């Protein structure tokens, strides 16, 4: 009979993978609940022509943070969007940890490369959204 055991694994998460994840989150995965983001980049304002997802991931990878504002679905409301939380690289990594722990069917997205494991690019918009919600709320609130 097979025995269930708890394991601790270490996974390498590249800056490129974070950029791909942020792109998936911003350009589709979490767009139904995120109204907008305010980027606090160590280098200042986003240069013209740089995609928002690229600037967000660059900010996170350089120690910046992102204010995340929730969408108000009541089109008649005059209320401003509410800030849902602050995203840092550490919070994003915590969201990834929760996603791996709670969505074990997605473990196929982790590959072995040499002496370490790496998360590959096979994260769809729904899973990217889950990671973002775990990072901001420590739970799945929407969807």
pLDDT at 65: 97
Range of the domain at 99: 11-137
Residue 51 lies in a domain: yes
- Asked whether residue 1 carries a pLDDT value surpassing 80, the answer given is no
Alpha carbon distances (Å) from 52 to 4, 46, 117, 120? 43, 8, 29, 22
Residue 4 lies in a domain: no
With cut-offs at 50, 70 and 90, classify the pLDDT of residue 17. Answer: confident
d(CA 56, CA 53): 5
d(CA 106, CA 127): 9
Q: What pLDDT, in 10s, does the model give residues 44-62?
A: 999 999 999 999 999 999 9
Residue 6 lies in a domain: no
Q: Say which residues have a Cβ less than 8 Å from residue 6's Cβ, sequence separation at least 6.
A: none
Q: What is the pTM of this model?
A: 0.81
How many structural domains is the chain composed of? 1
Residue 87 lies in a domain: yes
Residue pointed to by tokens 């997605």: 106
Residue pointed to by tokens 């791909």: 20
Residue 5 lies in a domain: no
């Amino acid at each position: 009979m097979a025995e269930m055991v708890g394991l601790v694994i270490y996974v390498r998460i590249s800056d490129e993978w974070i950029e791909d994840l942020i792109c998936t989150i911003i350009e589709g995965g979490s767009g139904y609940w995120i109204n907008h983001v305010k980027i606090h980049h160590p280098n200042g304002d986003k240069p013209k022509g740089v995609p928002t997802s690229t600037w967000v991931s660059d900010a996170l990878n350089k120690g910046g943070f992102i204010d995340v504002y929730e969408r108000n679905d009541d089109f008649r409301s005059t209320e401003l969007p509410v800030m849902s939380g602050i995203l840092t690289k550490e919070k994003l990594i915590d969201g990834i940890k929760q996603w791996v722990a709670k969505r074990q069917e997605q473990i196929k997205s982790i590959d072995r490369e040499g002496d370490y494991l790496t998360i590959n690019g096979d994260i769809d918009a729904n899973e990217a959204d889950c990671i973002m919600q775990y990072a901001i709320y420590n739970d799945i609130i929407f969807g």
